[in-house]
């Protein structure tokens, strides 16, 4: 709803007002056409050319006006839809990408398929909401307008029961309401289970798409494992859920349509039967009968038909309404999940300031609260080179996540100098699709660096063959080998020159010689940069002057024996 109070609200109101005006214009034309249609029948009955000709022209013009209004209305509705969807998509994308929500949603597993909620649900939500609102306005205005027509044509229905004289004014109007509410009750009874089924449909369809997307993204690894068959079974399993939901929807929709159509066919003669008493008594003309029931060369639907069909829009909207409720639920869950993340405080006291990285009484927990690692004290000064060691699963990467503010589970104080630019290089760095230069400069803009700088960094990191490909576009995450992508991440470091860099097994795919070469380049070219590495490789020991060994008895940390004189911490 934020769109309607945003900075775009005035244009949105204007477009909406145009859409509503066109809808009202359509209703006005329909009422006018009903009257003109009745006059046409009466002119035909009178066999009078003088009155017939102008009525014929008017009927022709009114028939022309209806599609013209519909086309203009559709263009303005789509313009409004475009603006609303753009605003909502921007809003959801911002919420998703802000403060690493996209990562936290996946880490906590709070909701599934956040991406598809933004890409698909938003579009459908806007489309259905706008259509339904305009439909409801049309229904209400048409109901009032044709209600007045029907009331006028009804007069009073007089009859006697056991000698008692009764008169019902506006009986056609009451009959139209009774007829439509009866149909609504029948349709609701037949189709109420569609709400849950449509809700489920969004979920199972999204799960199926997600599995297919994961197969595409991890094609190589799955092929190496010969996992095609297993993935095929998973996809088939997911599709079976889509299919059985679909079958249930088909059954319920068929039941709903049968109930709706059986009801309207059963009462198809009702308008004529209701008009007959007044026609036979001479109170109304044949043209009036045509205005009530339609046909006879006059108005297509008749006032009774128009009244019931506008009220019927509620009935027709029922299946879309069930889908709309499902979409609202999914988008509301998305906002709820992000609000939940925002409301959940980070357990760590993350400070910015000072001239060193400081950790005090850091207790890392797993998401369900099991203790993972305790670090009483760690001080890392500018220019130092630290190596963090420890068995697999000890909590090394989680410690880095906590320092980066990406791990909320735990407690303790972590302070990073405010002026330090920090970079984290994981085992598999993100390599975006596009030009190689853009992938190299990520997350900075490619224009911030010259080609010469990029080429030099690539050569220093043992990627001379890539220097000539800077402006080639490709899906580099698939085209470059794992080791090449790791060297590309080191080249990024040489260009961005951070003050503090965390290298989390960032050379695991390199041979020992290349590993040492790229490390030496980084250490030599970035002498003031603080380097914190996580590695299981002993070869890297000599490149670091401090070691934090998480497998050693607490307090874990000590100076590297070959680098005497550097300060370490012993608590």
- Residues forming contacts to ligand ATP in the complex (CB under 6 A) are 107, 366-367, 372, 390, 392-398
Instruction: Please report how close the Cβ of residue 400 comes to ligand ATP at its closest, in angstroms.
Output: 8
Closest Cα to residue 346, out of 330, 361, 365? Answer: 365
- By beta-carbon proximity to ligand ATP, the closer residue of 297 and 367 is 367
- By beta-carbon proximity to ligand ATP, the closer residue of 248 and 406 is 406
Would you tell me how many other CB atoms lie within 10 Å of the CB of residue 354?
A: 13
- By beta-carbon proximity to ligand ATP, the closer residue of 406 and 523 is 406
Instruction: Please report how close the Cβ of residue 109 comes to ligand ATP at its closest, in angstroms.
Output: 8
Q: Quick check: 321 and 132 in contact, CB under 8 A?
A: yes
Three-state secondary structure call for residue 272: helix
Instruction: Please report how close the Cβ of residue 88 comes to ligand ATP at its closest, in angstroms.
Output: 30
CA dist., res. 514 & res. 555, Å (int): 33
Closest Cα to residue 111, out of 239, 237, 202? Answer: 202
Three-state secondary structure call for residue 513: helix
- By beta-carbon proximity to ligand ATP, the closer residue of 397 and 416 is 397
Q: In degrees rounded to 5, what are phi and psi of residue 414?
A: -130, 120
Instruction: Please report how close the Cβ of residue 393 comes to ligand ATP at its closest, in angstroms.
Output: 4
CA dist., res. 569 & res. 200, Å (int): 56
Closest Cα to residue 390, out of 531, 549, 544? Answer: 549
In the numeric block, which tokens belong to residue 103?
A: 């990562």
- By beta-carbon proximity to ligand ATP, the closer residue of 107 and 214 is 107
Instruction: Please report how close the Cβ of residue 417 comes to ligand ATP at its closest, in angstroms.
Output: 24
User: Is 18 exposed, middle or buried (CB count within 10 Å of its CB: 0-12, 13-18, 19+)?
Assistant: middle
Instruction: Please report how close the Cβ of residue 104 comes to ligand ATP at its closest, in angstroms.
Output: 10
- By beta-carbon proximity to ligand ATP, the closer residue of 502 and 569 is 502
Contacts of 540 (CB under 8 A, 6+ apart): 387, 507, 515, 519, 533
Q: In degrees rounded to 5, what are phi and psi of residue 159?
A: -160, 170
Instruction: Please report how close the Cβ of residue 482 comes to ligand ATP at its closest, in angstroms.
Output: 16
CA angle in degrees (0–180, nearest 5) for 349-351-353: 160
Instruction: Please report how close the Cβ of residue 4 comes to ligand ATP at its closest, in angstroms.
Output: 38
- By beta-carbon proximity to ligand ATP, the closer residue of 362 and 372 is 372
Q: Quick check: 320 and 128 in contact, CB under 8 A?
A: yes
- By beta-carbon proximity to ligand ATP, the closer residue of 148 and 509 is 509
Q: Within the chain, how many helices (H) and strands (E) appear?
A: 18, 14
Q: In degrees rounded to 5, what are phi and psi of residue 160?
A: -125, 140
Instruction: Please report how close the Cβ of residue 392 comes to ligand ATP at its closest, in angstroms.
Output: 3
- By beta-carbon proximity to ligand ATP, the closer residue of 248 and 509 is 509
Q: Quick check: 157 and 168 in contact, CB under 8 A?
A: yes
User: Is 265 exposed, middle or buried (CB count within 10 Å of its CB: 0-12, 13-18, 19+)?
Assistant: exposed
Instruction: Please report how close the Cβ of residue 102 comes to ligand ATP at its closest, in angstroms.
Output: 14
- By beta-carbon proximity to ligand ATP, the closer residue of 337 and 458 is 337
Instruction: Please report how close the Cβ of residue 398 comes to ligand ATP at its closest, in angstroms.
Output: 3
- By beta-carbon proximity to ligand ATP, the closer residue of 160 and 392 is 392
User: Could you give the count of Cα atoms lying within 13 Å of 128 in the half-sphere of its Cβ?
Assistant: 19
């Amino acid at each position: 709803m934020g769109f309607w109070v945003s900075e775009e609200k005035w244009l949105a109101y204007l477009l909406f007002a145009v859409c509503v005006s066109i809808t009202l214009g359509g209703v006005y034309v329909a009422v006018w056409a009903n009257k003109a249609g009745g006059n046409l029948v009466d002119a035909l009955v009178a066999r009078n050319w003088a009155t017939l000709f102008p009525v014929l022209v008017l009927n022709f013009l009114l028939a022309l006006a209806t599609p013209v209004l519909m086309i203009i209305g559709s263009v303005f509705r789509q313009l409004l839809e475009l603006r609303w969807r753009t605003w909502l998509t921007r809003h959801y994308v911002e919420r998703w990408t802000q403060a690493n929500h996209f990562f936290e949603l996946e880490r906590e597993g709070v909701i599934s398929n956040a991406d598809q909620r933004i890409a698909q649900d938003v579009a459908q939500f806007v489309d259905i909401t706008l259509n339904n609102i305009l439909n409801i306005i049309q229904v209400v205005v048409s109901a009032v307008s044709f209600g007045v027509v029907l009331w006028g044509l009804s007069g009073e229905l007089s009859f006697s029961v056991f000698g008692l004289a009764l008169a019902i004014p506006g009986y056609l109007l009451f009959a139209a309401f009774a007829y439509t509410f009866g149909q609504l009750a029948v349709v609701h009874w037949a189709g109420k289970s569609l709400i849950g089924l449509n809700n489920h449909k969004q979920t199972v369809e999204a799960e199926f798409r997600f599995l297919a997307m994961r197969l595409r993204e991890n094609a190589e690894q799955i092929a190496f494992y010969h996992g095609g068959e297993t993935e095929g079974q998973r996809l088939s399993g997911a599709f079976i859920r889509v299919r059985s939901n679909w079958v249930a929807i088909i059954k319920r929709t068929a039941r709903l349509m049968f109930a709706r159509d059986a009801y309207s066919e059963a009462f198809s003669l009702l308008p004529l039967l209701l008009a007959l008493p007044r026609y036979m008594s001479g109170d109304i003309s044949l043209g009036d009968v045509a205005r009530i029931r339609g046909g006879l060369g006059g108005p297509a639907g008749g006032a009774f038909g128009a009244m019931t069909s506008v009220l019927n829009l509620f009935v027709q909207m029922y299946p879309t309404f069930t889908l709309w409720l499902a979409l609202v639920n999914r988008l509301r869950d998305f906002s709820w999940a992000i609000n939940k993340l925002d409301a959940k405080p980070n357990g760590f006291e993350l400070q910015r300031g000072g001239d060193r990285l400081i950790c005090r009484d850091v207790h890392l927990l797993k998401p369900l609260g099991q203790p993972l690692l305790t670090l009483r004290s760690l001080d890392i000064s500018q220019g130092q080179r630290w190596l963090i060691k420890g068995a697999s699963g000890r909590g090394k990467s989680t410690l880095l996540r906590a320092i980066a503010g990406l791990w909320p589970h735990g407690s303790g104080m972590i302070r990073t100098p405010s002026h330090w630019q920090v970079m984290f290089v994981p085992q598999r760095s993100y390599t975006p699709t596009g030009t190689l230069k853009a992938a190299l400069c990520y997350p900075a803009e490619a224009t911030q660096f010259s080609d010469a700088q990029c080429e030099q960094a690539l050569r220093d990191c043992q990627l001379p063959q890539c220097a000539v490909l800077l402006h080639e576009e490709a899906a580099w995450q698939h085209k470059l080998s794992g080791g090449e992508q790791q060297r590309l991440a080191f080249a990024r470091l040489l260009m961005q020159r951070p003050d503090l860099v965390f290298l989390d097994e960032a050379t695991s795919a390199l041979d020992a010689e290349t590993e040492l070469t790229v490390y030496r380049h980084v250490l030599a070219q970035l002498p003031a940069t603080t380097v914190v590495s996580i590695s299981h490789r002993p070869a890297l020991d000599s490149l670091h002057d401090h070691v934090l060994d998480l497998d050693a008895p607490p307090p874990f940390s000590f100076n590297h024996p070959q680098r005497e004189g550097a300060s370490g911490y012993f608590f």
